[in-house]
Structure 1
Amino acid sequence: MKLTAKDIGVGVMAGLAAALLSVGVITQSTLAMALLLFSPLPIFVAALGWGTGAGFIAALSMAVAVSVLAAPTAAIVVVLITALPAAAASYFIGLARPAEEIGGPKDTYVWYPIADMLLRLALIVGASFIAIGVMIGFGDDFAAQLAASLGQQLAASNPELAANAEAVQDMALFVVRVLPAMQPAVWVMIIVANLYLALRLTAASGKLRRPRDDWPRALRMPRPALAVFAVACAACFLPGGIGYAATAFAGALGACFIMAGFAMLHARTRGAAWRPVALWFAYFAVMLFVFVLFFFLLAGLFDTSRSAPVSKAANTTPNNDN
């Protein structure tokens, strides 16, 4: 891939912007935490609008800037949870191949399916959190200490719980056990949300080469993801580090299936007069009752597909030399 001075400049500026959005979390303020959620956005915009090279430069610039502003360890964490997933996802989204190679018409490009990108993104995010867990020494001993500390905090914050030490400890152990799944699950959703926003921004600016995806129908998981998810869920019951690692993968993959379930709801209610009420009720129910997510998970599991947008080669040449 050929990089111009403009591509390099855009990548560096995007990386600095992403670093500023992420390092503020050190202050532990509410605003800083909110800004952290948008830290992948500059990398996505650079990669989608100016090519994969600009995206990787943005990721590298972000890592260097964070290591200068904070610490090398913080830079590694930022690269693992923000820079690497964002650069990888934008790389896959920018891939296209001539339709003629797969029996399609000439002068037409077939773009990388969102479903395949989603599976790979989930695996990358899961692996990133596993690497962070290895860095901090997350294991049975660490989990026991964390559960004890969390139990003390719960008892101190709620005097009624303090009277029942066994219930407090059981609650703390449950939270610690699901934590390796919750963190990748939430973060992969944040990454996908930033990707969607970046696609809309670059499309509005005219820089996006990829044709617009029909997200309610395109946001699905491919069929091979079912087997990967099943293996991860089964391995969650294994003891030690293998169980925690499998839990991280299961959380990231499960979040993608849940998003697919929500996308299916958006697609199935399209054009219906009662659609706003149905969507409002679904999201409100999730906010009130977390177990409702299980039904969206099932919906995502039962609706696996791969759809790829196409475009005329003369009008929309891929912005990546892949």
Structure 2
Amino acid sequence: MNLGPYFIIVIAGVTSALCYVSVAFAPPPAFLLGYIAPLTILIAGLGWGVVASSGAVVIATLINLLISGFGTSLFYLIAVGGPAVWLSHLAVLGRAAPVTPGATGDSAIEWYPLGRLLIWAGVLGGTALALTFARAHFDLEAYTAPIQAVLKELLKGRAGTTSEGEQYSYALELSDNLAYALPLAAALLWTTTTLVNLWLAARITQYSGQLPRPWPDLAAIELPPLFLAAFFAIFAFAALAGGALGYVAAFYASALALVWIVIGLGVLHVVTRGRSFRRPLLIFIYVILIIFGWPAVPLMVLGVVEQFVQLRRRFTRAPSSPSPLS
């Protein structure tokens, strides 16, 4: 009897659970472990299939139930474990491609499109944050009140002189806007960390020889034709509807914005291929994107523009094996 898969299931489940509960029980720096809670579930799913990832999630959920209670374990199942199972399943989902002369091996398999996988990650990210809103019974004031309290606590003691008092009043107004915006940024962050974990899991399973899918050209991701219209419909509804429904739509718009950022990065990867400055330029862009965040806006615009002008097709040269940065 081969115990290898069972060992993977147990290790993946225990590791994921410990990473998740470390956010609440470990010293402050350990909260970073919470970001990699889906990683081992994704590895199990990519390398050993949906049964392995599902088994790992069951183990992790039970551990969370014993340590943290029902509410925390349920949120783990819905917002961490469940999405990891689904995304890893889709990533290695394939079907027989239309028969073409000479097609063999991987070329005879049509793998699940990465563009749709990106969209699924965005939808799950919006849903995860919408669930936190549901816990406040979709009451926007009740939902943002704890965030406002933390921000105002940080601003205490700043109202010394008159000028400082004016700055304090302005900061209080700003804190109200930040309390509204931070959960939306969290939806984008959730989607980002999930995709980073998926990439890491795919690399690990590839290097171990367990990844059934050939490594794709990530810069060549294509989106479904109707996604652009659907995204702007969600964005417009979030901007115009207001209230709880508008805020829920804003969660999805924020999470799905990452799709355009990824496409924008893909454009940069393609148009710089063969250039001597390619590697330092891409490293520089990724560094300022991670540290400052603001490059996400022009990248998102570039991703949208790409749907109309098809820059990647114009700059595509003879196909070659993509490098780790492609």
Return the alpha-carbon distance in structure 1 between the equivalents of residues 112 and 100 of structure 2.
13
> Residue 199 of structure 2 corresponds to which residue in structure 1?
196
- Residue in 1 that maps onto 2:245: 242
**Equivalent position of 1:53 in the other structure:** 51
Which amino acid is the alignment partner of residue 208 of structure 1?
L
Q: Residue in 1 aligned with 2:76?
A: 78
What amino acid does structure 2 have at the position aligned with 1:182? Answer: A
When structure 1 is superposed on structure 2, of 106-115 and 81-90 the one drifting more is 106-115
- Identify if the C-alpha distance between structure 1 residues 95 and 147 changes in structure 2 by more than 3 Å, giving closer, same or farther: closer
CA contact (8 A) 1:143 1:176 kept: no
Q: For residue 32 of structure 1, what is the amino acid of its counterpart?
A: A
Structure 1 residues 207 and 164: alpha-carbon distance in aligned structure 2, compared to 1, 3 A threshold: same
Please give the residue correspondences for 1:229-308 in structure 2 after superposition, counting only pairs within 5 Å.
229-237=231-239, 238-286=241-289, 289-304=292-307
In structure 1, C-alpha distance between the alignment counterparts of 2:223 and 2:276, rounded to whole Å: 28
Give the number of aligned pairs.
303
Displacement, 1:151?
4.5
- The 3 A distance-change label for structure 1 pair 158 and 15 is farther
Q: 1:22 to 1:142 in 2, by over 3 A?
A: same
Map of 1:69 onto structure 2: 67
Q: State whether residues 154 and 168 of structure 1, in contact with CA within 8 Å, keep that contact through their aligned partners in structure 2.
A: no
Alignment of 1:141 with 2:141, yes or no, is yes
Q: Structure 2 CA distance, aligned partners of 1:157 and 1:206?
A: 58
Q: Which position in structure 2 is the counterpart of 1:116?
A: 116
CA contact (8 A) 2:158 2:168 kept: no
28-37 or 74-83, which moves further after superposition? 28-37
Partners of 1:153 and 1:208 in 2: how far apart?
A: 48
**What is the DSSP-based 3-state SS (H/G/I as helix, E as strand, rest coil) of the residue aligned with 1:236?**
helix
Q: Residue 135 of structure 2: SS of its match in structure 1?
A: helix
2:144 touches 2:180 (CA, 8 Å); kept in 1? no
Which of 160, 167, 170 aligns to 1:164? It is 167
TM-score, structure 2 normalization: 0.83
After TM superposition, the structure 1 = structure 2 runs for residues 93-132 of structure 1, keeping only pairs within 5 Å, are 93-100=91-98, 105=103, 108-132=108-132
CA deviations 1:10-29 (Å, max 9, x no partner) are 22321111001111000363
Shift of residue 8, structure 1, vs aligned partner = 4.2
Residue matched to 1:178: 181
Stretch deviating more after TM superposition (73-82 or 282-291): 282-291
Q: Is the 8 A contact 2:133 2:143 kept in 1?
A: no
Q: Distance in 1 between matches of 2:150 and 2:142?
A: 12
Determine the structure 2 residue equivalent to 1:224: 226
Give the counterpart letter for 1:242 in structure 2: L
- Per-residue CA distance 1:57-86 (angstroms, 9 max, x = gap): 112221111111111111122222211211
Q: Which SS does the other structure have where 1:136 is aligned?
A: coil
Structure 2 portions without partners, runs of 5+: 311-326
Determine which structure has greater relative contact order: mean sequence separation of CA pairs < 8 Å that are 6+ residues apart, divided by chain length: 1
SS at match of 1:110: strand
Q: Is the Cα contact below 8 Å between 2:125 and 2:191 reproduced in 1?
A: yes
Alignment of 1:24-35 (within 5 A): 24-27=22-25, 29-35=27-33
Determine the C-alpha separation between the residues in 1 that align with 2:61 and 2:164. Answer: 43
Aligned position for 1:16? 14
SS at match of 2:276: coil
- The question of whether the paired residues in 2 share the 8 Å contact of 1:41 and 1:195 is answered with yes
Q: Is the 8 A contact 1:47 1:54 kept in 2?
A: yes
Q: Secondary structure at the match of 1:84?
A: helix
- Letter of the 2:19 partner, please give it: L
AA aligned opposite 1:180: P
Is the Cα contact below 8 Å between 1:221 and 1:300 reproduced in 2?
A: no
| Cα distance in 2, alignment partners of residues 151 and 212 from structure 1 | 44
Q: By how many angstroms is 1:135 displaced?
A: 1.5
Q: 1:83-135 CA distances to partner (integer Å, 9 max, x unpaired)? A: 12111110101110101279995761111111111111211221122122102
Unaligned runs of 5+ in 1: 306-322
2:238 partner amino acid: C
Shift of 1:163: 3.8
Q: Aligned residue for 1:314?
A: none
User: AA paired with 2:193?
Assistant: I
Counterpart position of 2:40: 42
Please list the CA deviations of residues 167-190 of structure 1 after superposition, one character each: whole Å capped at 9, or x if unmatched.
Answer: 123211221221232111011111
